[in-house]
Amino acid sequence: MIQIDDLRLAATLAASPSLSAAARALNVTPPALSMRLRKLEAGLGMVLALRDARQLRLTPEGENFAREAAALLKQIEDLPARFRIDDGRLTGVLRLAAPFGYGRCRIAPLIGQFSQAHPELQVHLTLGEAPWPERNDVDAIVHIGRLRDSSWVAHKLASNERWLCASPAYLDRHGVPSTPQDLLRHRCICIRENDEDATLWHFHRPAGDPSGRPAARETLRVPQALLTNDGTVARGWAEQGLGLVLRSEWDVAEAMARGTLVRLLPDWRLDSADVVLLLPSRKGRPARLQALLAFLTQALRPEGN
């Protein structure tokens, strides 16, 4: 007979890159996990996973079983809330994923407040380099930037422009660019995130800007002096005077207030990277997800709106 622990095992294997990672998530040793997996496979009469020292890969049968297991676990978790008298209390487990930088600086403190307001609710926050679309074991995802094809429903939490910045020391040595084309003569710090082309920068100048000049668009393949997948590292390099960086306004606002970074080409706009909350569907959404959406929308709304 299938046990709840078997369902948890299958769901965890589907969300883990290796047997060791799955063992850590379940708080067991890898040998113990291997034994449990062999026992489950023997009971089912099928191979669920192919594994070696470095990699874990589910078979098609394993993927189907893990998908069904995750759905059953979700139903079990939701049972108490379905039969509880509606008194406004939130229960169960809410799993949220967010990007490292924004998640650490903005989302984590808010989740602390949300948890205090709903003490009977378990909240799991997972930070990652690219939480979407890799995460398939979460209830909601905070995403920043362009959203490619997705079956998840996006709810805008906050606008987020991207600004071109450099340190005063760098500008003293290399000069201040006055047009996008000037960037071809500068050192550029590039960030590899969300599978975007890190060195292709898109600028547009809206019509009716203070200069009175007509609308224009520029797309540049900028020279790559430094490359990283971590926005905090890139901002730090820029503050050290190592080059120009393209960052979200939320990430550089404090550095600009300190004077360690200066915004460049303010008449030109770059592709915005709005902050959205991704939810699986609009139907049958539990109260805890509705509450999270309402809370984050209110908390991240600009003052005065």
CATH code for position 302? 3.40.190.10
Confidence (pLDDT) at 262: 96
Task: Give the integer Cα–Cα distance in Å for 140 and 161.
Answer: 23
State whether 62 and 21 are in the same domain: yes
* Number of other CB atoms surrounding residue 80 within 10 Å: 11
- CA dihedral 82→84→90→94, nearest 10 degrees, is -40
Confidence (pLDDT) at 272: 80
State whether 176 and 255 are in the same domain: yes
User: What tens digit of pLDDT does each residue of 104-140 get?
Assistant: 999 999 999 999 999 989 999 988 876 665 555 788 9
State whether 207 and 278 are in the same domain: no
* Whole-prediction pTM: 0.67
Our count of domains for the chain comes to: 3
State whether 153 and 177 are in the same domain: no
Range of the domain at 51: 1-83
Q: Quick check: 90 and 288 in contact, CB under 8 A?
A: yes
Q: Quick check: 132 and 280 in contact, CB under 8 A?
A: no
Task: Give the integer Cα–Cα distance in Å for 277 and 119.
Answer: 22
State whether 172 and 234 are in the same domain: yes
Choosing from 83, 114, 140, the residue where a domain stops is 83
State whether 171 and 133 are in the same domain: no
State whether 217 and 123 are in the same domain: no
Residues of the chain with pLDDT under 70: 52-54, 78-88, 130-136, 148-150, 194-195, 208-212, 282-284, 302-305
Helix or strand holding residue 237 (H, E): helix 231-239
State whether 178 and 257 are in the same domain: yes
- CA dihedral 235→240→243→246, nearest 10 degrees, is 20
DSSP 38-89: HHHHHHHTS--EEE-SS-EEE-HHHHHHHHHHHHHHHHHHHHHHHHS--SS-
Confidence (pLDDT) at 261: 97
Q: Quick check: 115 and 125 in contact, CB under 8 A?
A: no
Confidence (pLDDT) at 69: 86
Task: Give the integer Cα–Cα distance in Å for 238 and 231.
Answer: 11
Confidence (pLDDT) at 86: 55
